[in-house]
Copies of this chain bind each other. A is one copy, B any other.
Amino acid sequence: MRRTVFFVSDSTGITAETLGNSLLTQFDGLDFKRITLPFVDNHKTARAALSRIETAAVQDGARPLVFATMADPDLLDFLTDGRALVLDLFRVFIGPLEAELGLPSSHAKGRFHGMADNSTYDVRMDTLNFALTHDDGMSTARYPQADLVLLGVSRAGKTPTCIYLAMQFGVRAANYPLTEEDLTRQSLPKALVPIRLRLYGLTIDPERLHRIRSERRRHSAYASLNQCRKEITDAEALFRSERIRSLNVTSMSIEEIGSHLLQEMGLERRSF
Partner-B contacts on A (CB < 8 A): 3, 11-15, 17-19, 21-23, 25-30, 34, 36, 38-39, 63, 65, 69, 71, 85, 87, 89-90, 92-94, 96-97, 100-101, 103, 105-108, 111-116, 121-122, 124-125, 128, 132, 135, 159-160, 163-164, 167, 212, 215, 251-256, 258-260, 262-263, 269, 272
Contact = CB atoms under 8 A, between A and B. Distances in A.
Nearest to A113: B255
B3 A101 contact: yes
Given A18-B18, A124-B160, A259 B38 contact: yes
A46 to B, nearest CB: 15
A30 B65 contact: no
B253 A121 contact: yes
Contact of A65 (B18, B87, B97): B97
Contacts of A114: 251-253, 256
Sorted from nearest, which 9 A-B pairs have the closest CB atoms? Answer: A26-B105, A12-B259, A22-B112, A25-B111, A113-B255, A15-B22, A18-B18, A38-B259, A85-B100
Given A12-B255, A128-B160, 16 more contacts: A12-B256, A12-B258, A12-B259, A14-B18, A15-B19, A17-B272, A22-B69, A25-B111, A26-B97, A29-B103, A39-B260, A114-B252, A114-B253, A115-B251, A115-B256, A125-B212
A128 B26 contact: no
Nearest to A29: B103
Interface-central residue, A15, A94, A135, A164, by most chain B CB under 10 Å? A15
